Amino acid sequence: MRKLPLLNAETRPFWTGGEVGELRMHRCDDCARYFHPPAPVCRHCTSLKVTPTPVSGRGRVLTFTINHQAWTPELAEPYVVAIVELEEQEGLRFLSNVVNCPPEEIEIGMPVRVVFEQVEDVWIPLFEKAAA
Amino acid sequence: MVTRFLEKNVAIVGVGQSEVGRPSSRSAMQLTVDAALEAIADAGLDPKDVDGVCSWPGDNSNGGSFSPVGPLAVLSMLGLNCNWFSGGYEAAGPLAGVMNGAMAIASGMANNVLVFRTITESSNRLTGSKDQSLAAKSGPRDGNFMWQWCTPFNVLSVANITAMYAHSHMQKYGTTPEQLAQIALNARRNALLNPKAVMRKPMTMDDYFASKMISTPLRMFDCDVHCDASTAIVLSRKDIARDLRHPPIRIEAIGAAMNQPYLWDQVDLTGNAMPDAGNAMWARTDLKPADIDTAQLYDGFSILTMMWLEGLGLCPKGQSGAFVEGGHRIALDGELPLNTNGGQLSGGRTHGLGYVHEACTQLWGRGAERQIRDAHVAVCAAGGGPLAGSLLLVKD
């Protein structure tokens, strides 16, 4: 059971790219840099020419935590929250979960790849362990 | 002499605090009135002298137990005639009420400003209602600027994100859980000497390691404790302050800069916004970190106190673990007494203004059993992640 995000013109590409197996990150057409979260303007150069762009979905775990607190009754089992940096650009990162892996096997720096969990009209980008 | 930094024309002249209950049987408004009237009387002022009132975050953001009483309610209930009032969440962290009040006085909008912060998270927890400090605030879908990037991943509290900062700090700098524990142990030692502190049972290192793991590497004793309380301070223009009851505690410098996005996963993971605020504060004063006699630093989570030590330049970047090692340096008789009333970890989560109240208590020599020696300069700081603000206070 996950709380779902409100989709709008900026955020929809990120949250629905998984329908076709794509992780989409906003990228500036002028300075060619990615940025997150998605916005109608580039955070680096203020250009208004920005495009949601498919990326590899590969990255590494920048940091993580194993949550043990049942914030709601449905969250009784430990789960892993991580910040993943994508291989496309230093600093291009977002908060997610690492799944399909015993928590004790996860390390900072571990290579990961995106997997999607569909809930209603949202494809939530999660990560699993990838070959080095 | 004309100064470019106008907060220096403002001083703290009185402080007050309600009971700190876990829970309190008093209403949020009663707690607020208790604190406000105590602070105004402490200053030697009358409520009719107060012409400004403000609070962070006010009652219009998270609402509920996180901030049940705002400036409009206080203005109305105390019958204040205000030339200026303000509340709101979007500012440089929990000390923003003091910053805004000081700026109002410095700009001539008001002469004597009441700043307060009320919180009733303890009674809220006990009544079993939904914890309003958690993320799930509204509607079935999350459109909040920050939380929409957290709740879909079952991050409903910043505890998880703060835990990731701690993990990064440990990985990058070799900070140990034993060092982190010193923040909690120091807070508890000091709380034992504070009659109003919520947690008053001694804590050992073993107790710390036996406390429940919340989100690795943070344990329950790394997280602050809910309480019901209100804290208030009165700010006055410097020339008015001179004639009041206590030696004025000057606002020497404010640190409120923010050079990073307000997103908990995009800020610097081991520094957060703290260096932004710290550097801005030091740029507004001739004083140096070595001049500080006591530090009251945000301990909503223990790792944030460590990061504030670094962000304010009280120790080198990455060295807060070594700095607090053994706990002697930060103890009441150490070179930098830290969170001398037990902080929020053991004193109670008064959320921000409690640090200012305690700094003034020490600077005015009212600390009784926990009084430190020769306190003239104090630094207060609050916030974590992308929220950060600091105050440098001086009693001449």
Q: Note the pLDDT of residue A51.
A: 98
Torsion of CA B356, B289, B298, B256, to 10 degrees: 80
Report the residue of chain A nearest B167, measured CA to CA.
Answer: A63
A37 secondary structure, DSSP code: S
Yes or no, beta carbons of B264 and A122 under 8 Å apart: no
- Contacts with B218 from chain A: Cβ below 8 Å: 65
Which pLDDT tens digit goes with each residue over A53-65?
999 999 999 999 9
- d(C-alpha B39, C-alpha B234), whole Å: 6
Return the axis-axis angle of helices B302-311 and B274-282, rounded to nearest 10°.
40
Q: Note the pLDDT of residue A3.
A: 93
Which pLDDT tens digit goes with each residue over B248-301?
999 999 999 999 999 999 999 999 999 999 999 999 999 999 999 999 999 999
Q: How confident is the model at residue B344 (pLDDT cuts 50, 70, 90)?
A: very high
Is the pLDDT at B133 greater than 50, yes or no? Answer: no
Report the residue of chain B nearest A5, measured CA to CA.
Answer: B142
Is the pLDDT at B114 greater than 80, yes or no? Answer: yes
Which of B136, B215, B264 is the closest to A68 by Cβ?
Answer: B215
Query: Residue with structure tokens 């015993």?
Result: A102
Is the pLDDT at B136 greater than 60, yes or no? Answer: no
Q: Note the pLDDT of residue B127.
A: 74
Comparing B131 with B51, the larger pLDDT belongs to B51
Q: How confident is the model at residue A132 (pLDDT cuts 50, 70, 90)?
A: confident
pLDDT average, residue stretch A70-90: 96
Yes or no, beta carbons of B142 and A108 under 8 Å apart: no
- d(C-alpha B36, C-alpha B57), whole Å: 16
Task: Mutation target for A interface from B167, B170, B272: give the one with most A CBs within 10 A.
Answer: B167
Yes or no, beta carbons of A108 and B167 under 8 Å apart: yes
A12 interface with B at CB cutoff 8 Å: no
pLDDT average, residue stretch A40-51: 98
Is the pLDDT at B205 greater than 80, yes or no? Answer: yes
Which of B148, B159, B171 is the closest to A6 by Cβ?
Answer: B148
Report the residue of chain B nearest A96, measured CA to CA.
Answer: B153
Contact A26, A16 (CB under 8 A): no
pLDDT average, residue stretch B105-126: 95
- d(C-alpha B351, C-alpha B341), whole Å: 13
Nearest to B163 by CA among A126, A68, A2: A68
Tell me how many residue pairs between chain A and chain B have CB atoms under 8 A apart: 111
CA-based nearest distance B320→chain A, Å:
19
Q: Note the pLDDT of residue B64.
A: 85
pLDDT average, residue stretch B196-221: 98
Yes or no, beta carbons of B153 and A43 under 8 Å apart: no
pLDDT average, residue stretch B316-331: 98
Which pLDDT tens digit goes with each residue over A9-42?
999 999 999 999 999 999 999 999 999 999 999 9
Indicate the range of A41-50, A111-120, B1-10, B243-252 predicted with least confidence: B1-10
Q: Note the pLDDT of residue B139.
A: 64
Comparing B131 with B335, the larger pLDDT belongs to B335
Report the residue of chain A nearest B260, measured CA to CA.
Answer: A43
pLDDT average, residue stretch B185-194: 98
The tokens for A109 are 């720096």
